[in-house]
């Protein structure tokens, strides 16, 4: 018999072997799940796309062959991603790609390229042929700066025949080239970067500006004495702008580094990203642009914030005809957060508070959009509550209608809310008014809003992925501010150069140097953020004191417009484009006067006065203006029906009322306690029809003088007047004919008598 300890050791060995096999057969190992996504600014290659993408292209390629299970590859992935973001503007000259050799479908091509260690980086020059296996990179891959410099060295080793067509010259400029530059180049600016022999600054800025038009960049070495003396350059590095009229001006920045020079040149007037010439045309295309509003980029505009509120609450939420479950919760939390932290104008805040109270009152009940939009439109008539209608972009306006606008304003709103929540935790007044805010409250609320309401589903998916990745690690309000800021910059990096980017407002890392120079620095040639300075800047930039109220309409102007719009809609017999008729939703006509509109204000809306009559037609639309559709015969029939009902027994009254309510008749029925006709209302309506008080007798019954109305009960007063006028004209015509023939007869008789004499 084997010893128990031996058997235990054997079973342990079996379990270890099974665990090892299970690990090897996990989905990540079998399918080769990669370490990169398209959002990382790298091209993901597969065995069936490698040749098509890499070979015979006009740009060079730097390809990383890696294995997703390789620990060194996992550690190197952030460096490669950082490099891709760092040189994303260089894509027309050189692009980065990756291929996962751990994927079984890529194993053969990795063997073909003789890749045996991971990661392996290979350089493919422009117009490489399929037989070329790439040049193995053997530099220090741990540093983004070293990789960037090695890329420049590899580009410069291109022969003249295979030089990437989009890549500008990287060699130093000479005096002769500068003197004749504008004669052969149609650009507005020439940026000259004076530097030492071993500096890469000029070449880096040259490649950074590769995709921008109306500007060229050349490097000038300190040994080029003619140029340095001509421009009076004594410090290196230095940048000068050279103009077509042969004048020049020094570029003044906080630090003479790549980050500051590149940003300065990209923001020069007339400098735009050239790729948009192929996709966006400023020619006449049937689009009328609104007048441009001059704005200060150092300010936050309330017009943008209110436009974001209008679009999000009316349009984005309006995509859901019914709000229930998670969408109901998301809306609840979003409105509550706005009420707590949005520094809006008083009438906007009053509307948000009213909406929050209404949502709290109905609890978790299902909400229809029509009911919800009635609250936003303040149909209950709460004094001093109003949300401006429409959008009016100022700081978020774009050069074309499809650019910026709502996404820009929503990001601005989100940043503002995170900053206000942090300040609330720091202010004693706010602490007394609200309980201390959970650092994740605002971020979780924004996450729910984006998930359930933001219209761009791809953008919502990316935001959700970022939130799932690291949002739960936020532990303070300041970290919440910085988390949202860093993710916004990540989005800007992903969308830089995309078709959605406004050429007038490129998607740069924010804040830019001209707004916060203290936020930027460089360490060993690589850009770094000074997070303390960034946090301070964000708290100042998104403070209520920095909000600009230009281009806003006042409360009185907005109320006048709203009143005029409602009167116009009533005159047309319909509500606005976003609002259904109130009668279609609840079967109740709007109140006619102040007495009828006397309400008890509750969070649910309006409760009618007991004296107010409620009318409806079962199964049909309730009609808006009864006096415009009920004729005299309807009133008379109603009168006699009510007289007849008075003589009926009280026990049958309810049955008859129910029969009249649900029967096929088309006139309006009363469900008040009394079935008698309201003669005061009838008298008022008859007056509107043009019939005087003589129609009703002392007791409210028709008199003998009303024979005209009884005979013509289907005609209006205008119809009867036309009939009388037609009768008079016919009589006059007949009288004229009679007189004519009578005179003619007498004339003939006189003529015959005269002839006989």
- Structure confidence by residue, pLDDT tens digits, 542-600: 999 999 999 998 878 887 777 776 666 566 554 444 444 333 333 333 333 343 333 33
Mean pLDDT (the chain, rounded): 76
Give backbone dihedrals phi and psi of 628, rounded to 5 degrees, phi first: -90, -10
Residue closest to 122 by CA, chosen among 107, 133, 106, 111 = 133
Residue closest to 230 by CA, chosen among 251, 210, 246, 213 = 246
Predicted confidence band at 409 (pLDDT cuts at 50, 70, 90)?
very high
Distances (CA, A) of 365 to 317, 331, 417, 440: 17, 13, 28, 26
Do residues 300 and 547 touch, judged by C-beta distance below 8 A? yes
The answer as to whether 105 is a domain residue is yes
Whether 396 is catalytic is no
Predicted confidence band at 526 (pLDDT cuts at 50, 70, 90)?
confident
Number of domains in the chain: 5
Tell me what pLDDT residue 647 has: 47
Tokens representing 407 are: 């996404």
Tell me the per-residue pLDDT of 696-727, one tens digit each, with 9 for 90 and over.
Answer: 444 444 444 444 444 455 556 677 778 888 88
Tell me the per-residue pLDDT of 95-149, one tens digit each, with 9 for 90 and over.
Answer: 999 999 888 888 889 888 988 788 899 999 999 999 899 998 876 566 888 899 9
Q: Which of 27-36, 50-59, 396-405, 617-626 has the highest mean pLDDT?
A: 50-59
Segment holding 457, helix H or strand E: helix 457-470
Whether 424 is catalytic is no
Q: What is the DSSP letter of 617?
A: -
Residue closest to 316 by CA, chosen among 305, 326, 327 = 327
The answer as to whether 288 is a domain residue is no
The answer as to whether 729 is a domain residue is yes
Q: Determine if residue 466 is left, alpha or beta; phi over 0 gives left, psi from -120 to 50 gives alpha, anything else beta.
A: alpha
Q: What is the DSSP letter of 172?
A: P
The answer as to whether 281 is a domain residue is no
Predicted confidence band at 738 (pLDDT cuts at 50, 70, 90)?
confident
Residue closest to 167 by CA, chosen among 182, 145, 151 = 151
Tell which of 546, 576, 606 closes a domain: 546
Q: Is residue 531 pLDDT above 90, yes or no?
A: yes
Lowest mean pLDDT among 31-45, 94-108, 152-166, 639-653: 639-653
Cα separation of 383 and 430, whole Å? 26
Q: What is the DSSP letter of 621?
A: P
Tell me what pLDDT residue 415 has: 95
Report the b/e string of 724-754 with b at 16+ CB within 10 A.
eeeeeeeeeeeeeeeeeeeeeeeeeeeeeee
The answer as to whether 18 is a domain residue is no
Tell me what pLDDT residue 428 has: 58
Q: Is residue 192 pLDDT above 90, yes or no?
A: yes
Exposed/middle/buried for 642, CB within 10 Å: 0-12, 13-18, 19+?
A: middle
Lowest mean pLDDT among 52-66, 215-229, 558-572: 558-572
What 3-state DSSP class applies to 33? coil
What 3-state DSSP class applies to 238? strand
What 3-state DSSP class applies to 512? coil
Q: Is residue 195 pLDDT above 90, yes or no?
A: yes
Tell me what pLDDT residue 704 has: 45
Q: State whether 239 and 364 are in the same domain.
A: no
Q: State whether 210 and 151 are in the same domain.
A: no
When comparing pLDDT for 199 and 718, which is higher? 199
Tell me what pLDDT residue 430 has: 66
The answer as to whether 55 is a domain residue is yes
Q: State whether 396 and 498 are in the same domain.
A: yes
Tell me the per-residue pLDDT of 416-443, one tens digit each, with 9 for 90 and over.
Answer: 999 999 988 777 556 555 556 677 889 9
Give backbone dihedrals phi and psi of 242, rounded to 5 degrees, phi first: -110, 130
Predicted confidence band at 662 (pLDDT cuts at 50, 70, 90)?
very low
Q: State whether 61 and 116 are in the same domain.
A: yes
Tell which of 546, 565, 583 closes a domain: 546
Exposed/middle/buried for 73, CB within 10 Å: 0-12, 13-18, 19+?
A: buried
Tell me what pLDDT residue 431 has: 54
Q: State whether 270 and 189 are in the same domain.
A: yes
Tell me what pLDDT residue 3 has: 47
Q: State whether 306 and 418 are in the same domain.
A: yes
Pairing of strands 215-221, 189-195: parallel
Q: Is residue 286 pLDDT above 70, yes or no?
A: no
Q: How far apart are the first and last CA of the chain?
A: 174
Distances (CA, A) of 469 to 437, 465, 480, 514, 720: 22, 6, 14, 32, 80
Tell me what pLDDT residue 201 has: 94
Tokens representing 3 are: 């010893």
Q: Is residue 317 pLDDT above 90, yes or no?
A: no
Tell me what pLDDT residue 315 has: 82
Q: State whether 229 and 316 are in the same domain.
A: no
Q: Is residue 445 pLDDT above 90, yes or no?
A: yes
Tell me what pLDDT residue 676 has: 41
Exposed/middle/buried for 458, CB within 10 Å: 0-12, 13-18, 19+?
A: exposed
Predicted confidence band at 752 (pLDDT cuts at 50, 70, 90)?
confident
Tell me what pLDDT residue 209 has: 93
Q: State whether 540 and 640 are in the same domain.
A: no
Predicted confidence band at 37 (pLDDT cuts at 50, 70, 90)?
confident
CA dihedral 138, 143, 148, 150 (to 10 degrees): -20
Residue closest to 238 by CA, chosen among 174, 207, 195 = 195
Tell me what pLDDT residue 24 has: 35
Mean pLDDT along residues 311-316: 87
Predicted confidence band at 11 (pLDDT cuts at 50, 70, 90)?
very low
Cα separation of 261 and 239, whole Å? 8
Mean pLDDT along residues 510-533: 89
Segment holding 547, helix H or strand E: strand 547-548
Tell me what pLDDT residue 599 has: 32
What 3-state DSSP class applies to 313? helix
When comparing pLDDT for 561 and 619, which is higher? 561
Mean pLDDT along residues 644-655: 46
The answer as to whether 531 is a domain residue is yes
Q: For CA atoms 494, 496, 500, 506, give the dihedral sign.
A: positive
Q: What percent of the chain is modeled with pLDDT above 70? A: 71
Tell me the per-residue pLDDT of 466-479, one tens digit each, with 9 for 90 and over.
Answer: 999 999 999 999 99
Predicted confidence band at 16 (pLDDT cuts at 50, 70, 90)?
very low
Tell which of 128, 162, 196 closes a domain: 162
Segment holding 328, helix H or strand E: helix 326-341
Q: Is residue 659 pLDDT above 60, yes or no?
A: no
Q: What is the pTM of this model?
A: 0.55
Question: Cα angle vertex 302, ends 301, 304, to 5°?
Answer: 70
Question: Cα angle vertex 625, ends 619, 626, to 5°?
Answer: 75
When comparing pLDDT for 26 and 523, which is higher? 523
Tell me what pLDDT residue 208 has: 93
Long-range contacts: 693-700, Cβ < 8 Å, 24+?
700/639
Q: State whether 672 and 736 are in the same domain.
A: no
Report the b/e string of 113-137 with b at 16+ CB within 10 A.
bebeebbbbbbbbbbbeeeeebeeb
When comparing pLDDT for 318 and 84, which is higher? 84
When comparing pLDDT for 685 and 722, which is higher? 722
Exposed/middle/buried for 87, CB within 10 Å: 0-12, 13-18, 19+?
A: buried
Bond into 117 cis (ω within 30): no
Cα of 516 vs its chain's centroid, Å:
27
The answer as to whether 445 is a domain residue is yes
User: Residue 477's domain spans which residues?
Assistant: 300-368+391-546
Q: What percent of the chain is modeled with pLDDT above 90? A: 36
CATH number at residue 244: 3.40.30.10
Q: State whether 133 and 45 are in the same domain.
A: yes
Distances (CA, A) of 60 to 79, 98, 127, 172, 250: 20, 14, 8, 22, 34
Q: State whether 441 and 318 are in the same domain.
A: yes
Predicted confidence band at 399 (pLDDT cuts at 50, 70, 90)?
confident
Tell me what pLDDT residue 658 has: 44
Mean pLDDT along residues 143-165: 86
Ranges of beta strands (E only) in 162-261 are 189-195, 212-213, 215-221, 238-243, 248-250
Tell me what pLDDT residue 628 has: 40
Q: State whether 153 and 197 are in the same domain.
A: no
Q: Is residue 687 pLDDT above 70, yes or no?
A: no
Residue among 73, 101, 110, 396 flagged as catalytic = 73
Q: Is residue 414 pLDDT above 80, yes or no?
A: yes
Mean pLDDT along residues 263-271: 90
């Amino acid at each position: 018999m084997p010893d128990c300890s031996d058997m235990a050791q054997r079973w342990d060995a079996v379990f270890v072997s099974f665990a090892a096999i299970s690990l090897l057969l996990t989905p990540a190992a079998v399918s080769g799940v990669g370490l990169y996504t398209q959002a990382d600014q790298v091209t993901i290659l597969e065995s069936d796309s490698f040749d098509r993408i890499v070979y015979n292209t006009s740009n060079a390629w730097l390809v990383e062959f890696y294995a997703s299970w390789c620990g060194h590859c996992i550690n190197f992935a952030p460096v490669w991603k950082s490099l891709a973001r760092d040189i994303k503007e260089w894509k027309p000259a050189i692009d980065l790609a990756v291929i996962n050799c751990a994927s079984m479908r890529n194993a053969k091509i990795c063997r073909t390229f003789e890749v045996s260690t991971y990661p392996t980086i290979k350089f493919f020059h422009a117009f490489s042929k399929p037989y070329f296996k790439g040049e193995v990179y053997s530099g220090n891959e741990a540093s983004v700066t070293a990789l960037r410099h090695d890329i420049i060295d590899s580009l410069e080793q291109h022969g003249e025949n295979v030089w990437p067509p989009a890549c500008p010259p990287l060699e130093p400029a000479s005096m002769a080239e500068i003197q004749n530059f504008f004669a052969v180049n149609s650009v507005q600016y020439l940026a000259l970067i004076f530097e030492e022999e071993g500096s890469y600054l000029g070449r880096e800025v040259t490649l950074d500006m590769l995709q921008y038009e109306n500007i060229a960049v050349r490097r000038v070495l300190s040994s080029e004495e003619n140029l340095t003396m001509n421009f009076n350059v004594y410090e290196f590095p230095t940048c000068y702008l050279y103009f077509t009229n042969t004048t020049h001006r020094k570029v003044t920045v906080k630090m003479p580094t790549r980050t500051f020079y590149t940003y300065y040149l990209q923001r020069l007037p007339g400098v735009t990203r050239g790729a948009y010439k192929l996709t966006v045309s400023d020619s006449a295309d049937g689009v009328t642009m609104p007048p441009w509003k001059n704005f200060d980029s150092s300010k936050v505009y309330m017009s943008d914030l209110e436009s974001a509120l209008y679009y999000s609450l009316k349009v984005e939420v309006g995509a859901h005809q019914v709000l229930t479950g998670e969408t109901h919760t998301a809306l609840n939390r979003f409105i509550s957060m706005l009420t707590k932290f949005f520094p809006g104008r008083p009438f906007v805040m009053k509307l948000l508070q009213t909406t929050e109270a209404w949502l709290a009152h109905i609890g978790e009940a299902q909400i229809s959009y029509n009911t919800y939009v009635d609250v936003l439109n303040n149909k209950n008539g709460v004094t001093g509550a109003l949300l401006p209608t429409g959008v009016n972009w100022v700081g978020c306006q774009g050069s074309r209608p499809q650019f910026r606008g709502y996404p820009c304003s929503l990001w601005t709103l989100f940043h503002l809310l995170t900053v206000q929540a942090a300040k609330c935790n720091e202010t004693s007044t706010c602490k007394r008014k609200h309980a201390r805010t959970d650092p994740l409250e605002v971020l979780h609320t924004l996450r729910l809003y984006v998930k359930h309401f933001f219209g761009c589903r791809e953008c919502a998916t990316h935001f959700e992925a970022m939130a799932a990745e690291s949002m739960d690690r936020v532990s303070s309000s300041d970290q919440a501010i910085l988390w949202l800021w860093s993710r916004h910059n990540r989005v800007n990096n992903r969308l830089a150069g995309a078709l959605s980017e406004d050429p007038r407002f490129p998607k740069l890392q924010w804040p830019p140097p001209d707004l916060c120079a203290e936020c930027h620095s460089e360490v060993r040639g690589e850009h770094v953020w000074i997070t303390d300075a960034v946090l301070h800047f964000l708290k100042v930039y998104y403070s209520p004191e920095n909000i600009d109220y230009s281009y806003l309409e006042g409360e009185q102007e907005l109320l006048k417009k709203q009143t005029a719009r409602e009167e116009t809609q009533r005159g047309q017999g319909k509500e606005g484009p976003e609002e259904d008729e109130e009668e279609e939703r609840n079967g109740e006509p709007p109140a006619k006067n102040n007495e009828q509109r006397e309400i008890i204000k509750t969070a649910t809306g309006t409760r009618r006065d007991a004296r107010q009559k409620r009318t409806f037609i079962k199964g049909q639309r309730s009609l808006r203006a009864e006096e415009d559709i009920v004729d005299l015969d309807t009133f008379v029939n109603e009168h006699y029906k009510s007289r007849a009902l008075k003589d009926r027994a009280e026990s049958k009254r309810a049955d008859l009322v129910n029969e009249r309510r649900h029967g096929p008749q088309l006139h309006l029925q009363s469900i008040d306690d009394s079935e008698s006709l309201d003669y005061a209302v009838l008298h008022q309506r008859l007056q509107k029809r043009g019939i005087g008080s003589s129609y009703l007798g002392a007791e409210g019954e028709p008199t003998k003088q009303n024979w005209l109305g009884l005979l013509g009960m289907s005609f209006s007063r205008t119809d009867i007047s036309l009939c009388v006028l037609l009768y008079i004209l016919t009589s006059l015509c007949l009288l004229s004919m009679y007189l004519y023939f009578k005179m003619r007869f007498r004339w003939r008789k006189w003529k015959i008598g005269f002839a006989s004499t």
